[in-house]
Amino acid sequence: MTTETHLDARGLKCPLPVLRTGKVLRNMAPGTRLRVLADDPVAVVDIPHFCHEAGHALLNQREDEGHQVYVIERGPRP
């Protein structure tokens, strides 16, 4: 069973959702998961791009009652 850390970034505007996501992921162990809630429309582009560039796996991305939900698996440490 994989434990998830949660980040509620609803109400934050670009670039804060992706910056906070990066900060939380830096303090997590490789292979652990982070669930992010965001409602900034730009996060739909920013968070997947960040994951790709930083080497994290975006496991799921969906809309849920007025906000987005992202499940990210922490990539290996550089």
Catalytic residues: 14
Q: What percent of the chain has pLDDT over 70?
A: 96
Instruction: Work out the pLDDT band at 2, boundaries 50, 70, 90.
Output: low
Burial 21-49 (b: 16+ CB within 10 A, else e): beebbeebeeeebbebbbebeebeebbbe
Average pLDDT, the chain: 95
Strands (E), the chain: 4-8, 33-38, 57-64, 67-73
Summarize pLDDT for 4-37 with one digit per residue, the tens: 899 999 999 999 999 999 999 999 999 999 999 9
pLDDT tens-digit readout, 40-78: 999 999 999 999 999 999 999 999 999 999 999 999 976
